[in-house]
Amino acid sequence: MDVALDLLADGVVLADAEGLVTAVNVAAGRRLGVDPGAAVGRPLAEVLALQDHEGRDWCSVNSPYDGLSTRTAVPEQPWLLPDGTEALVVARIHRPALTAPVSAVAVSLRSGRGRARLDRERSDLVATVAHELRSPLTGVKGFVQALLNRWDKLNDEQKKLMLTTVAADSDRLSRLIAELLDVARIDTGRLQLYPRPSDAGLLARRVVDSVAAGTSRSVGIEVAEGLPEVDVDPDKFTQVVTNLVENAVRHGEGDVRVALEHADHAPDGPGISLAVTDEGDGISPELRRRVFTKFWTSGQRGGSGLGLYLVNGLVRAHGGTVTIGDAAGGGARIVVLLPASVADAV
């Protein structure tokens, strides 16, 4: 059994009915700073040298040999190892029967790095949300306050401009909240789609017209004739196209072009190809996998770092793929492949 325990990545400490250690695997010995062989026969409280931030030890806090006879486990808790690093500790309490005394205690220790990484991701999320919400909220608050304080002194054009700005900032807030909700649903596998046969060219044209109206950059679109319909959730597909085009406008240079064409090798057969290109520096090959991760940003132009993560998640949820390449004249070229609607594919 000791050989099998040594193969485990987690640390394991076993103790008998008397509270004496019967086995310590290599991983536990390394983390606890003890010799696994010399630890056998010693009291569990001595070998399990774990402390919380108040200096209390694991055994005195959890009392594995006392308490209710129905208790079968000690839930996972963070504890400090002798070297000051954190470990996540969980224990199983074994009894021959509910009315019998404890016959064995099995304690498992695993690295707290995963917990630290999760904490960092949560901190990144909080920082990102705070940063992205602050700018539009500042605008909304400032213009509303100005309207309240100076309503009689402002002319109709000034009022209209302020209210238009407030409406735009409110839309930005709503979109960010929707993106965060979609990120959470993608991460937890609870994203709900309502696909139906849709004209991808029509949906993409609406996005291009909307983005082009709000930028001085040239944003154009070309749609091949006779494109098949695709089974997509129109709102989610619109979000994909919007994120791609706005990403090209924000991070690229020169003209932005959207092209929809026939694709013979889309997932599961024929379908459509949607390509968004710009004339900037492009995305280097070593970074192309990273751009689809959460909170990835590059350069000085900001952003939530969620746009391309959502693009990848939403496209995959529709059975499609996303790839990044180089545009013919320089710049980035992001291509989405989607299968044709079942009715058009047969």
Task: Give 172-229 pLDDT, tens digit per residue.
Answer: 888 888 888 888 888 888 888 999 999 999 999 999 999 998 888 899 999 999 999 9
pLDDT (0 to 100) of residue 71: 87
φ, ψ for residue 194 (rounded to 5)? -125, 70
| CATH 3.30.565.10 segments of the chain | 196-345
Tell me which residue of 55, 137, 48, 145 sits closest to 90, measured CA to CA. Answer: 48
Confidence of residue 240 (pLDDT cuts 50, 70, 90): very high
Confidence of residue 303 (pLDDT cuts 50, 70, 90): low
| CATH 1.10.287.130 segments of the chain | 116-188
Instruction: Answer whether residue 300 shows pLDDT above 60.
Output: no
| CATH 3.30.450.20 segments of the chain | 2-111
Tell the residue number behind the tokens 């005394």, with chain if given.
101
What is the C-alpha separation between 237 and 25, in angstroms, rounded? 52
pLDDT (0 to 100) of residue 346: 47
Instruction: Answer whether residue 41 shows pLDDT above 50.
Output: yes
pLDDT (0 to 100) of residue 95: 92
CA atoms within 13 A on the CB side of 179: 28
CATH architecture of the domain with residue range 2-111: 2-Layer Sandwich (3.30)
What is the C-alpha separation between 89 and 78, in angstroms, rounded? 6
Provide long-range contacts, Cβ within 8 A and 24+ apart, for 23-32.
Answer: 27/109, 28/109, 31/81, 31/87, 31/109, 32/81, 32/82, 32/109
Which residue would you say has higher pLDDT here, 62 or 121?
62
Instruction: Answer whether residue 298 shows pLDDT above 70.
Output: no
pLDDT (0 to 100) of residue 207: 94
Please check whether the domain covering 116-188 is classified as CATH 2.40.50.100.
Answer: no
Q: Could you give the maximum distance between any two Cα atoms of the chain, in Å? A: 87
* Percent over 70 (pLDDT), the chain: 92
Reported as a single tens digit per residue, the pLDDT across 175-184 is 888 888 888 8
Question: CATH number of the domain at 196-345, out of 3.30.428.10, 3.30.565.10, 3.40.50.300, 1.10.10.10?
Answer: 3.30.565.10
pTM: 0.61
What is the C-alpha separation between 264 and 152, in angstroms, rounded? 63
Which residue would you say has higher pLDDT here, 150 or 268?
150
- One-letter amino acid for residue 40 of the chain: V
Reported as a single tens digit per residue, the pLDDT across 98-146 is 788 999 999 999 887 766 666 666 676 677 677 777 878 888 888 899 9
